[in-house]
Amino acid sequence: GAVVSQHPSWVICKSGTSVKIECRSLDFQATTMFWYRQFPKQSLMLMATSNEGSKATYEQGVEKDKFLINHASLTLSTLTVTSAHPEDSSFYICSVEAAPLAPLHFGNGTRLTVT
């Protein structure tokens, strides 16, 4: 069965609104989760590393005020796209590791469309 649950699987929102994406670890506690973004026909680009109980670590070029990450518990990390614009439309995927350097488990992804 699924190890990581990502919700919603797809969402359409209007420009200027905010959207929250959840990533849940179902089988184990995860101190670290990763958020990726994938544009059509492109690779996965790491956006940020989500650390339970502390601030997320963002990759260069990723706006931390626009992509808010909250890792409030050992099983849940959320990514909020604030004031979404059409250029934020993309596929967002989270991944979780059960232990340091253990193979990553990926969520099914969220397709965000901003109109």
How many C-beta neighbours within 10 Å does residue 40 have? 7
Judged by CB under 8 A, which of 17, 18, 42, 83 binds other proteins? 42
With binding defined as CB under 8 A, does residue 109 bind other proteins? yes
Structure token digits, residue 48? 């940020």
CB 6 within 8 A of CB 23: yes
Nearer to other proteins, 57 or 82 (CB): 57
**According to CB under 8 A, which residues from 6 to 35 bind other proteins?**
34
Report how many helices (DSSP H) and strands (DSSP E) the chain contains, helices first.
0, 11
Tokens 């179902």 locate to 26
Judged by CB under 8 A, which of 25, 75, 78, 95 binds other proteins? 95
Residues 6+ apart with CB under 8 A from 61: none
Judged by CB under 8 A, which of 31, 57, 82, 113 binds other proteins? 57
Q: Which residues bind other proteins (CB under 8 A)?
A: 34, 38, 42-46, 49, 57, 91, 93, 95, 100-101, 103-104, 106, 108-109
